[in-house]
Every structure is written in C-alpha cells, then in structure tokens.
Copies of this chain bind each other. A is one copy, B any other.
Amino acid sequence: MIIILKQDTKKEQIERLEAFFAGMGLKTHLSEGEHSTVMGLVGDTSRVDPDMLESLTEVAAVRRIQEPYKKANRKFHPLDTVVDCGGVKLGGGHFQMIAGPCSVESEEQIVAVAKAVKQSGATLLRGGAFKPRTSPYAFQGLHDEGIRLLLLAKQETGLPVVTEIMDIKHLDLFRDVDVIQVGARNMQNFELLKELGHTGKPILLKRGLANTLQELLMSAEYIMAGGNEQVILCERGIRTFETATRNTLDLSAVPVLHGLTHLPVVVDPSHATGYSRLVPSMSLAAVAAGCDGLIIEVHNDPPHALCDGAQSLTPEIFDEVARKVHKVRDALNA
C-alpha cells in the first residue's frame, strides 16, 4: 500500500504516522519527490482500511498495490483449479454444459428435461427448488419437494445436480446435491458465504448485479477462507442503463478473471440476456471468450414455465446450440 502525503506535511506528522503503522506491525518506507512525499507500507496490509487513511488530514491519496484476495489469487496459485462436481470435472481445460429449467415444477417436467439435455451433451443438471423472486406474490419454488424431484432426475439420468441455496437453515436439504449455487442477490450475503466455507461442497458463485470482479473474488475468498476451495465463478450479466436486454452480459469478465484467479469461470447467457432468442449467439460468444462452462435454462414448454419462461430454450434449440458450441471449441483447439 502506498500513501501519498500532502505537499505541506510536517516532519512530526510523518513520525506520528510511522508510529501508528509500527503499532499495526507494518514497516514504512519514505520517498520524497518535488511535489509530494510517498510512504510505502511493507507487511500484511489486508487489515488496513484505505478509506480510513484517506480521512487523515495529512494524506492526499492511498493506493493499494496488492489485490486484497489471497486464496483466490492466481499469483499465489498459478495452476487452474479443477472442481469435481459429483464426478464431473470443471475447469483447467474441462468444459461442461450445465442445463435445466429455471424451476423444478414436477417429476415429469424435470425428468423429461434432464433426459433431453443429457442427450444433447449436457453433463450437469440445473433446476431451482428455492427461487429468489422480486415479488412476494410470485411462485417461490417447490422447496424440499423440488430438491427431491431434482435428485430423482439425477437417479434417472446420472447427471450431477446444481441448485440454489437461499438460506443456510436449508443446508440439510442439500446433502445429496452435487453443486450448491449462490445467486446474484446473495453474492454479498457474507454470513451465508462463511457457512458454505465449511461444507466441502462445490459452490457455484454468481456475480451480483452491481458487483465488480474484484468484489466477486472477495466473496469467493469468504468461502475459501473457511477451507472450501471448490468455487466456480459465474458471470450472469450486470445492471446498466441499457434496457434492450434484462442485464448486460460482461464477457470481458472471462479473460479478466482468468488473469486474476485460478478458479473456473462459467457463463449464464439465459439470465444475462433475459430473452431466449439471444441465448444461442451469447452462448457461442462465451465459449469463444474462453469460459470453462455454460449454464443454460432449458424448458420443455417455455411459455408455460412457472418462472423465467422468456429466457428458456426448448430442448430442440438447446441441442442445436450444444452442437455449435462443440464446433467452436474444436475450431479454437485445432
């Protein structure tokens, strides 16, 4: 961390600052320029609050040099993490297609979709049992019954399952779930993240609507700090002024995250765009951008889906998308 002092800072003020940092176990290093004096902090600065420093009268500006995340940082862990999702590897060259309906609605529905997407090459099944809905009057999911049906579809097809947790009090219900998803609205539900850090289950962590990539990595760090390093990051669109799409899919997140972290990165084009007609092209774009997997909503009867029907593909369209995804991957790896 670097502290830029104001032009007229006096020697006593500098000495007081040095003593303050010494009390925090940090060494300081001074370099005086023509217009400003710069103090470098050496040691573990992760507990130092840069905003607090900026409030000191003698400080003009504070700049972090090191990223505030450690376990998620590629610098300290250069090799790609490969996450084991119920026997299916994701990351480090292992690309996977996760598909399924927004909500689990019935045995018939989830088993039919599971069989269809498996045939098209999906290797993990998604389906919501607990649904975060903006309105308290909207369908909130089948809860424990939804998880039971999802596991039944797993039994039928052999596909490991991914489903969202909304409150840690439901954790027991997730015992046989292969990957636990944290939704965008809970990305900074820090109490939930801490508890998931003790589960040993792979966590699919979605980026919040208004969260930077650094904040996404800090949330991953919460899970990893608890001992659980099986984290999959998910780009699912951010909120901007544009209204032609539900959110704005930020595909640059894929190469940026691959540079900053060793964790795998998947893309959700369904929630990002909100319209099924945009999902095929955005799936291909995400693959060309280098993502480690896709998570796509597929429903056997989108117009009658109990939630997010507008963004679900039919199994037929998904099949076509899956074939093109593999063509693009082959072309890039050739």
Report yes or no: A248 in contact with B250, Cβ–Cβ below 8 A.
yes
Q: CB of A210 within 8 A of chain B?
A: yes
Please name all residues of chain B whose beta carbon is closer than 8 Å to the beta carbon of A276 when the two chains form the complex.
55
B215, B225, B281: the one contacting A289 at CB < 8 Å is B281
Q: CB of A12 within 8 A of chain B?
A: no
Q: CB of A288 within 8 A of chain B?
A: yes
A interface, by DSSP: helix, strand, loop or mixed? mixed
CA distance A133 to B186 in the complex (A): 14
Please name all residues of chain B whose beta carbon is closer than 8 Å to the beta carbon of A272 when the two chains form the complex.
252
Please encode chain A, from 1 to 43, with 1 for each CB lying within 8 Å of some chain B CB and 0 for all others: 0101000000000000000000000010111011110101011
CA distance A277 to B46 in the complex (A): 26
B51, B137, B209, B334: the one contacting A311 at CB < 8 Å is B51
Give, as a whole number of angstroms, the nearest-CB distance from A2 to chain B. 6
Q: How large is the interface on A (under 10, 10 to 19, 20 to 34, 35 or more residues)?
A: 35 or more
Closest to A193 in B: B136
Report yes or no: A285 in contact with B289, Cβ–Cβ below 8 A.
yes
Please encode chain A, from 278 to 292, with 1 for each CB lying within 8 Å of some chain B CB and 0 for all others: 100110111111100
Report yes or no: A221 in contact with B285, Cβ–Cβ below 8 A.
no
Knowing A38-B31, A239-B210, A303-B52, say if A189 contacts B190 (CB, 8 Å). no
Knowing A244-B214, A273-B252, A330-B331, say if A188 contacts B185 (CB, 8 Å). yes
Closest to A50 in B: B310
B31, B52, B135: the one contacting A308 at CB < 8 Å is B52
Give, as a whole number of angstroms, the nearest-CB distance from A116 to chain B. 19
Please name all residues of chain B whose beta carbon is closer than 8 Å to the beta carbon of A213 when the two chains form the complex.
242, 244
Give, as a whole number of angstroms, the nearest-CB distance from A21 to chain B. 13
CA distance A334 to B328 in the complex (A): 11
Closest to A4 in B: B65
Please name all residues of chain B whose beta carbon is closer than 8 Å to the beta carbon of A209 when the two chains form the complex.
210
Q: CB of A132 within 8 A of chain B?
A: yes
Report yes or no: A188 in contact with B46, Cβ–Cβ below 8 A.
no
Report yes or no: B251 in contact with A242, Cβ–Cβ below 8 A.
no
With most chain B CB atoms within 10 A of its CB, the pick from A54, A225, A278, A305 is: A278
Please name all residues of chain B whose beta carbon is closer than 8 Å to the beta carbon of A259 when the two chains form the complex.
277
Chain A stretch 285-334: residues in CB contact (< 8 A) with chain B: 285-290, 302-303, 305, 307-312, 324, 327-328, 330-332, 334
Closest to A289 in B: B285
